[in-house]
Structure 1
Amino acid sequence: MPDPGARRGATVRHVLIIEDLKDAQRWLREAVLLAFPDAEVSCCNTLDNSLHWIAKHAPDLCLVDLKLPDGTGVDFIRSCHSRHPSAYQVVTTIYDDDIHLFPAIHAGASGYLLKDEPKASIAQALKTGVNEGSPPLSAQVARRMIRYFKHNGVGNEPEKVPSSSAVHLLSPREQETLTRIAAGHTIAQTAQILGVSYHTAARHVKNLYAKLGISARAEAVREAIRLGLYDPNS
């Protein structure tokens, strides 16, 4: 996660909200203006539009939804972090699981807020984050991060299931999902290939990660190869 203190006390003039739902756009805009009444707020509803926007403007703050019609918020976070490293990027989403949380943080997000929080809580978290350098994190997200690092910290590697039995723990759909993830497909692409909803594909990923004792895509690739579900040379 980028140092949230790097923008401590910075003035927020230009805010970009990336959200494809109009009601959520309006609600997040109101939260932003509660925190920063003088800010100029722009909204984009697709990844492509948001990338064009940051090519012409330098945002001080970005609120990023993770599921967009033409891509993921993680793609935006990575691009924006490369182009505007001082931009304060905060995920605003309904997803609180590891497979959404950690890729966003690794890509450059400085905070992660759930959209079921009250508007005033979102505003306060943003204001505190910018003014005091405290990462804007919803309480259950913070708890999940603490549990993750307790479980996966130094000397606490997750127990691996023996190779001979691991593949039998996965349902056929989970095996297919693991193969697609190992091949580099996103969750959205995997859902489309398998003919299921995004939420169903995300659930398959979450379940197979838990069964295999893994928590990252690199580990998924390794396990898929080990289990004979993916050949990187084919």
Structure 2
Amino acid sequence: MSDATTSLALDTDPDEPGDVDEDAAPAFDPFERPTGWSHSRGLLFGEMLVFALLSLVAAFVLSYDAVVLAADPAAVLSCDVNAVLSCGTVAQSWQAQLFGFPNAFLGLVAEPVVITTAVAALGGTRFPRWFLFAAQCVYGLGVVFAYWLLTQSMLVIGALCPWCLLITVSTTLVFASLLHWNVLEDNLYLPRRVQARLLAFVRSGAYGYLVAAWLVALAVLVLATYGPSLLA
């Protein structure tokens, strides 16, 4: 074989170092932000806006009811449906005034902040990383408080407040939407390996199924605890 032929054979060897395969797929970046409507600013902050508004309405109604009960402890509230679904029973418990005033007043303060943040984000405002991280932590405390009140209602007080249930569901969904966004934007100051795994979980669509399963489990828990008594 001539030297020219040998040289040509070496140049066309696909295993030769330095050769570039133009058809090879680019390396997968585990930190690449997923795209699509389900991961969009409009959807996630739109969800936050809707559910924060629902929580604000519920907090306003509960605050009004607290004032009514303060004036007349024997008053019958519009959501006093039966022995199980009874806002009055829950409102007159010590758990409903854990800090010395009706818990609903906290919602009147917190939810407008969430609503303002969501509206600003939908308008294109980009908040600093620390702000959204702090918002996630503070709202997380609110979710923990909402579920503490729910367990107290079910296990200690023995009655459920429909408006309180709405707040529990709404705060859960606001927290979930904010967490979705913060994972996408890497706002949680997590170790790189943890961030990559969470991003992969969100990218796969499993996060949405997890949130839906959580709400279904919550509904099943309420039905299993009270059953027909809810409508008696």
Task: Give the TM-score normalised by the residue count of structure 2.
Answer: 0.25
The higher relative CO (CA closer than 8 Å, separation ≥ 6) is in 2
Higher strand proportion (structure 1 or 2): 1
Structure showing greater Rg: 2
Higher helix proportion (structure 1 or 2): 2
Task: Give the TM-score normalised by the residue count of structure 1.
Answer: 0.24
